[in-house]
């Protein structure tokens, strides 16, 4: 549990932003805007006579094998449905390339590799280049993505999305980090008035606190309360103490769980288009089950009442179900945050180390026995 809490706390993201400039490597634009995450900026010029938007998006790479993307979503400011331009190092030549991609719902779910696809929007031209102070693609290298698009006449509001990731497999960019700032990297802007509607962003501590509270409540305190009720009550010396301990631990765990659940709801509201249906469904189920358990205390029959056995059966069934679903959902949350893969890699590393040590010892033993 301590290792889990430390990993969750270490996943606290930092949010930064850069000062924008209308001057870029290729040209000077009329307007610019600092975007709220990933050190990104946007500069543009809008030509109302032909509804043409000329723009330059600027951001930086996370790694030499990483990617940087900017795109438009015709319907709403979310990842699914975005028509994007993604810059990364060409695996064949090592030079910077810019390819078009359409982000479908399957992209978010990682059901298949992301493949380059011609865009179905009026993109007139596009290019990407590194800033003069970035000779090659490396962590921190600044890239400019230039594009010229034809907008719908008399519609000057655009939904744009941007992001960056650590790896590209062949010509397929892999998933980006899942910090709150990465999930909120989208906005709606008016290219004439520069009015912007940004995605609401929670504080950087919200996600790790959500994980810590839920791991502590559903993953530790509530199962501990069940253990107290199941085993401690067997000792006659415990008297009624076991019941008060059971109730106190369960109540504390449920309060912490409700708090973590509320933070999760707020995170979901601040990230439209980013949905973890299974995690959310399990969360609702355990909160409802925990609420039913709490309400049941007010209707507990006396020990001699004829309905007491039915109440006990209900209490046990709902209680065990709540604990099982809660623990499952804690691990589901770990998978979403990438902690499950971290534990998997750690376990494999330990197994490999033990295998090498045992293999080495075994070889020495055989060798001594043979000679």
Is 246 annotated in a binding site? The answer is yes
Is 210 annotated in a binding site? The answer is yes
Residue in this structure with the two tokens 């305190």, named with its chain if needed: 221
Question: Residue 288: which of 328, 323, 322 has the closest Cα?
Answer: 322
Left, alpha or beta for 38 (phi > 0: left; psi -120 to 50: alpha)?
left
Is 49 annotated in a binding site? The answer is no
Q: What is 263-291 written as a DSSP string?
A: HHHHHHHTSTT---HHHHHHHHHHHHHHH
Give backbone dihedrals phi and psi of 126, rounded to 5 degrees, phi first.
Answer: -160, 150
CB 162 within 8 A of CB 57: yes
Say if residue 118 is exposed, middle or buried (CB neighbours under 10 Å; 0-12, 13-18, 19+): exposed
Element (H, E) at 365: helix 339-370
Is 315 annotated in a binding site? The answer is yes
Per-residue buried b or exposed e for 12-30, using 16+ beta carbons within 10 Å of the residue's own CB: ebebeeeebeeebeeeebe
Sequence ranges of the binding site: 210, 246, 279, 315
Sequence ranges of the binding site for heme b: 210, 246, 279, 315
């Amino acid at each position: 549990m301590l290792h889990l809490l430390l990993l969750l706390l270490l996943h606290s993201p930092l949010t930064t932003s850069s000062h924008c400039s209308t001057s870029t490597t290729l040209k000077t634009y009329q307007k610019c805007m600092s975007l709220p995450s990933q050190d990104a900026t946007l500069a543009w010029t809008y030509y109302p006579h032909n509804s043409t938007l000329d723009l330059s998006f600027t951001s930086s790479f996370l790694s030499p094998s990483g990617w940087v993307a900017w795109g438009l979503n015709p319907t709403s400011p979310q990842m699914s449905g975005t028509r994007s331009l993604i810059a990364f190092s060409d695996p064949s030549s090592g030079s910077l390339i810019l390819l078009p991609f359409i982000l479908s719902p399957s992209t978010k779910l990682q059901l298949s590799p992301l493949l380059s696809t011609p865009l179905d929007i009026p993109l007139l031209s596009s290019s990407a280049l590194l800033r003069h102070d970035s000779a090659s693609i490396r962590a921190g290298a600044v890239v400019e993505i230039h594009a010229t698009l034809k907008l719908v006449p008399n519609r000057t509001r655009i939904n744009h999305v941007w992001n960056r990731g650590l790896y590209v497999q062949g010509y397929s960019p892999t998933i980006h980090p899942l910090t709150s700032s990465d999930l909120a990297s989208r906005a709606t802007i008016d290219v004439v008035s520069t009015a912007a509607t940004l995605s609401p962003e929670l504080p950087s501590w919200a996600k790790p606190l959500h994980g810590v509270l839920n791991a502590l409540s559903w993953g530790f305190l509530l199962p501990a309360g069940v253990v107290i009720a199941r085993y401690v009550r067997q000792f006659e010396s415990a008297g009624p103490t076991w019941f008060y301990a059971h109730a106190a631990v369960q109540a504390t765990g449920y309060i912490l769980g409700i708090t973590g659940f509320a933070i999760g709801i707020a995170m979901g509201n601040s990230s439209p288009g980013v949905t973890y249906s299974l995690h959310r469904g399990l969360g609702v189920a355990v909160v409802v089950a925990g609420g039913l358990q709490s309400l049941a205390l007010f209707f507990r029959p006396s020990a001699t009442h004829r309905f007491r056995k039915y109440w006990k059966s209900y209490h046990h069934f709902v209680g065990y179900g709540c604990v099982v679903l809660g623990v499952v959902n804690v691990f589901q949350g770990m998978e979403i945050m990438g902690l499950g893969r971290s534990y998997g890699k750690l376990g494999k590393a330990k197994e490999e180390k033990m295998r090498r040590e045992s293999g080495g010892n075994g070889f020495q033993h055989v060798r001594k026995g043979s000679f």
